[in-house]
Amino acid sequence: MLSPPSRPSGAAGRPAASRASRAGLGWGLLGVAAFSFTVPFTKAAVAGGGMSPLFVGAGRAVIAAVLAALALAATRQRLPRGAQWARLAVVAGGVVAGFPLLTSYALSTASAGHSAVVIALLPAATAVLAVLRGRERPPVPFWVAAGVGAVAAVCFASVRGGGLGAPGWPDLLLIAAVLAAGLGYAEGGLLARELGAWQTISWALVLSAPVMAALAGLAVWQSPPTGTPVQWAAFGYLGVVSMFLGFFAWYRGLAIGPMARVSQIQLVQPVLTIGWAALFLGERITWPTLLGGLAVIASAGLAVRARTGGTAAPRRAAPRGNRPPAQGRSQAPETEAR
């Protein structure tokens, strides 16, 4: 009887690992590009007071939850099991409720540029939480590049947004939003290895739907939303892309990993965010902005090219929803890199 073929090891397995790493970075970049519109579009939605921060933060989650429920039902995904529900609650608390609501309230008074100062710390927060939660051990050069990138991102956004200044409630809300999103990203990236990328955010949205729907209903009852077509379009983007489709790419990138390296692609998000703010909100782009943007992108490149070293990223388990379905059940989309 023939023995099963052995898996490639050593140098023979490096090309496949390199391709998987590039795929993870590529998916992460696509997710960051989608998320880079979130801050300026949130600012546009809450500007003028026609839409309350509570409505914008909770309402977009309701839109995304409806899309998620339809996707899960159409592909007949299996229900998460046991402790996975508790982990989904962590994801929902961080990226479905925490970050959207906190940033919506902060952006009701803070500018998009000022908000980018604090949100630029998100890559570092995600990397630290990924190491603590996922037991990854990036090498020292990675942390040096990540630290330099975080400083460069903050300095860049400070020049554009006028600096942090005296801490106020918007700053505290944004710091809390960064911690919430970092925790949700780290836990969601790990859970995506079991459930699949799009399945993870979809189940998190469905799990939080009753609470977010109640909050959105309360917001409508307190102050019926009004807005221009542009504001409603921005709100629609937040619900469909920022809250749903963007996570397809982002969690897939984190699942392929290494998570701590993929998270550093967020360092280019302040550059993109302020660029969109200039385009859609009329903010001026100066030479310091361009030079700062180049510094941020260079730091991100150094971080993602740093060797992983230490303990390898945990092996990905086959998503439960991707196992061979029972007769009459449709096959779920695969999340492994090809």
Residue 47 has what DSSP assignment? G
Whole-number pLDDT of residue 162? 54
Give the amino acid at 283: E
Alpha carbons within 13 angstroms on the beta-carbon side of residue 323 total 10
Q: pTM, whole model, 2 decimals?
A: 0.75
Gap between the Cα atoms of 321 and 315, Å rounded: 17
- What was the pLDDT predicted at 300? 65
Structure tokens at 123: 């890559």
pLDDT on residue 6: 47
Contact 129, 182 (CB under 8 A): yes
The DSSP-derived string for 213-280 is: HHHHHHHHHHS-----HHHHHHHHHIIIIIIIIHHHHHHHHHHHS-HHHHHGGGGGHHHHHHHHHHHH
- 10-residue mean pLDDT series, the chain (338 residues): 47 60 84 92 90 95 96 94 94 94 90 77 78 74 78 67 60 88 88 88 96 96 92 95 90 78 79 85 73 70 58 45 43 37
